[in-house]
Amino acid sequence: MSTVTPVTVAPQAITLDQEINPWEAQSARFDFAARKLDLDEGLWKLLRSPSRELIVHFPVPMDDGRIELFTGFRVQHSIARGPCKGGIRYSPEVTLEEVRALASWMTWKCAVVNIPFGGAKGGVICDPKKMSQGEIERMTRRYTSEISDFIGPEKDVPAPDMNTNEQTMAWIMDTYSMHARRTVTSVVTGKPLNVGGSRGRIEATGRGVMVACDESLRYVGKPIEGCRVIIQGFGNVGSNAARLMMEHGYTIVGIAEMEGGLYNSAGIDVHQLIEYKYRNNSVLGFPGADPSPADELLITDCDILIPAATENVITSRNAEKIKARIIVEGANGPTTAVADEILSEKRVFIVPDILANAGGVTASYFEWVQDRQGYFWKEAVVNEQLETILRDSFDDVVRYAEAHNVNNRIAAYMLAIDRVAFTIRQRGIYA
Ligand code: NAD
């Protein structure tokens, strides 16, 4: 187990609202890491703020004949290391501030795994659950058209995020291509296979989470055999991580979902659970485990806890009660800065989101490379390259943490900021 001195990243007295504000969370970690790096004041200011923010208000004809006005965002945080990269989310709760924080996170994530991208994020304020497929398609195409001067294979490459998927990416690719008068597959990643998608992309984030678990156990000197894992979220990341990890010898003892959770100390058969959820649209009632309150599962005894659902689930309210010795963050931003401090004092080994869930953006990088080459790799090649990058990145982060006597999250930020700042210094400031 790492003998790292706890660090204070959180302000002394803040409200829960401030604690869970994504921009505050990102900035608290950034400022702490920048201070540790003794970052030049000018670069600090530059990297703390996004490079460009686009807000678009655009009309969409709805099925009932009305014209609805939607608001969308695209924020580009940094292009220092290459084109921007980052998802597009559809949600009634999307705000510019949230998108801004997520764009910065993407810069740090790409730099941690050392792929040649900067960070961006996009979003449209809408409730896709209340819209027809036709309405979602028209909204997607018009939003794409509104941001089309901003995006492009060498400028900014979107991807799926909350409530967007392969189909959304296919529409974006098609709309952009119609404007360009040629097919431009590399303008987005996360596309279906037959329109330029990559093999291995769908399970890449879950695979990366497994690699982070393997490496964590190796680092703390514990075996995979007998390792008890609880996962929150059984969607793309959680279910793929659970399946791959069970196949790899882990015992998945708990799954926490929106509507409730499951526990089985002897291990849950994840293949059966995936099939059950597919048939029933819920994990509840699965015969191979006992029901358990979802919140309780986060603080239930286990060796590895994987929050793979959503942000701000480990806060000042529950961090003290967490029993897992290792936390691998499949989700983005699951732990608040205040909770970080508590967990650091408890010597919990955390693999931070910008490293643990970077399998997705790494596979997206492979998709972009394949599209540009017009040559598509076998799945085994994608998986092997992915695992190599993630193992190397894990090693970089833990070595950096040891060398600077900080925890893994601060190390990941420091490493990322250092890489971006180094590139900016080399390029120089154009004036
Ligand atoms: P998803 O929508 O496929 O799955 C999320 C699952 O979590 C759903 O089954 C949902 O019901 C469940 N959930 C939501 N809130 C919950 C809560 N409070 N308690 C318990 N369960 C809850 O999403 P996903 O693609 O698996 O993404 C999950 C997280 O991982 C998000 O934070 C996302 O930003 C992050 N992430 C995803 C990828 C990717 O490639 N999909 C890459 C990097 C990061």
pLDDT in tens, 100-136: 999 999 999 999 999 999 999 999 999 999 999 999 9
pLDDT of residue 247: 98
Structure token pair of residue 362: 């790494």
For ligand 1, atom 18, the nearest C-alpha belongs to 258
User: Residue range 182-206: average pLDDT?
Assistant: 97
pLDDT of residue 13: 62
CA of 257 to the centre of ligand 1 (A): 10
* Per-residue pLDDT band at 18 (split at 50, 70, 90): confident
pLDDT of residue 15: 81
**172 lies in the same domain as 101:** yes
Quick one: which atom of ligand 1 is closest to the CA of 332? 32
Question: Is residue 192 domain-resident?
Answer: no
**115 lies in the same domain as 149:** yes
pLDDT of residue 22: 87
CA of 98 to the centre of ligand 1 (A): 16
In the listed set 338, 356, 374, which residue is the last one of a domain according to the structure? 356
> Is the pLDDT confidence value at 35 over 50?
yes
For ligand 1, atom 2, the nearest C-alpha belongs to 235
CATH of the domain at 280: 3.40.50.720
Burial of 223 (0-12, 13-18, 19+ CB in 10 A): exposed
User: Residue range 292-306: average pLDDT?
Assistant: 98
Q: What is the mean pLDDT of the chain?
A: 95
pLDDT of residue 12: 53
Among 98, 163, 236, 284, name the best residue to mutate to test ligand 1's pocket (greatest count of ligand atoms within 8 A of Cβ). 236
> In residues, how long is the chain?
431
**101 lies in the same domain as 236:** no
Secondary-structure breakdown of the chain: helix, strand, coil percentages, each rounded to the nearest 5: 50, 15, 35
Strand 349-351 versus strand 326-328 pairing type: parallel
Quick one: which atom of ligand 1 is closest to the CA of 234? 9
**159 lies in the same domain as 104:** yes
**119 lies in the same domain as 257:** no
For ligand 1, atom 24, the nearest C-alpha belongs to 236
**212 lies in the same domain as 178:** no
C-alpha to C-alpha distance for 122 and 54, rounded to whole angstroms: 9
Q: Which of 8-17, 24-33, 70-79, 306-315 has the lowest mean pLDDT?
A: 8-17
**224 lies in the same domain as 304:** yes
Q: Which of 9-13, 153-157, 350-354, 356-360 has the lowest mean pLDDT?
A: 9-13
More confident of the two residues 3 and 131: 131
CA of 322 to the centre of ligand 1 (A): 20
Question: Is residue 253 domain-resident?
Answer: yes
User: Residue range 180-207: average pLDDT?
Assistant: 97
**246 lies in the same domain as 118:** no
pLDDT tens for each residue of 409-431:
999 999 999 999 999 999 999 99
**219 lies in the same domain as 128:** no
Q: Which amino acid is at 274?
A: I
**131 lies in the same domain as 237:** no
For ligand 1, atom 1, the nearest C-alpha belongs to 235
Question: Is residue 369 domain-resident?
Answer: no
> Is the pLDDT confidence value at 4 over 90?
no
Measured CA distances, 248 to 94, 245, 251, 325, 349 (Å): 37, 5, 9, 20, 21
Question: Is residue 280 domain-resident?
Answer: yes
| Whether 74 contacts 316, CB under 8 Å | no
Among 112, 205, 237, 354, name the best residue to mutate to test ligand 1's pocket (greatest count of ligand atoms within 8 A of Cβ). 237
CA of 310 to the centre of ligand 1 (A): 5
CA of 67 to the centre of ligand 1 (A): 32
For ligand 1, atom 4, the nearest C-alpha belongs to 235
Q: Which amino acid is at 13?
A: A
**175 lies in the same domain as 222:** no
Question: Is residue 78 domain-resident?
Answer: yes
pLDDT tens for each residue of 63-100:
999 999 999 999 999 999 999 999 999 999 999 999 99
> Is the pLDDT confidence value at 11 over 70?
no
> Is the pLDDT confidence value at 345 over 70?
yes
CA of 12 to the centre of ligand 1 (A): 30
For ligand 1, atom 34, the nearest C-alpha belongs to 332
- Residue 383 backbone class (left: φ over 0; alpha: ψ -120 to 50; beta: rest): alpha
Name every protein residue with a CB atom under 6 angstroms from any ligand 1 atom: 205, 232-238, 256-258, 294, 308-310, 313, 330-332, 357, 360
Question: Is residue 4 domain-resident?
Answer: no
Q: Provide the 3-class DSSP secondary structure of residue 199.
A: coil
* Per-residue pLDDT band at 20 (split at 50, 70, 90): confident
Sign of CA dihedral 310, 331, 200, 162: positive
CA of 204 to the centre of ligand 1 (A): 14
Domain count of the chain? 2
In the listed set 356, 380, 408, which residue is the last one of a domain according to the structure? 356
**217 lies in the same domain as 281:** yes
Question: Is residue 322 domain-resident?
Answer: yes
Question: Is residue 221 domain-resident?
Answer: yes
Proportion of the chain above pLDDT 90, given as a percent: 93
> Is the pLDDT confidence value at 9 over 90?
no
pLDDT tens for each residue of 370-390:
999 999 999 999 999 999 999
Which residues are marked as active site? Answer: 121
> Is the pLDDT confidence value at 182 over 80?
yes
Quick one: which atom of ligand 1 is closest to the CA of 235? 4
pLDDT of residue 25: 85
For ligand 1, atom 19, the nearest C-alpha belongs to 258
Among 93, 162, 189, 258, name the best residue to mutate to test ligand 1's pocket (greatest count of ligand atoms within 8 A of Cβ). 258
Quick one: which atom of ligand 1 is closest to the CA of 311? 32
Domain hosting 330: range is 204-356
In the listed set 312, 340, 356, which residue is the last one of a domain according to the structure? 356
For ligand 1, atom 35, the nearest C-alpha belongs to 331
CA of 235 to the centre of ligand 1 (A): 6
CATH of the domain at 163: 3.40.50.10860
User: Residue range 251-256: average pLDDT?
Assistant: 98
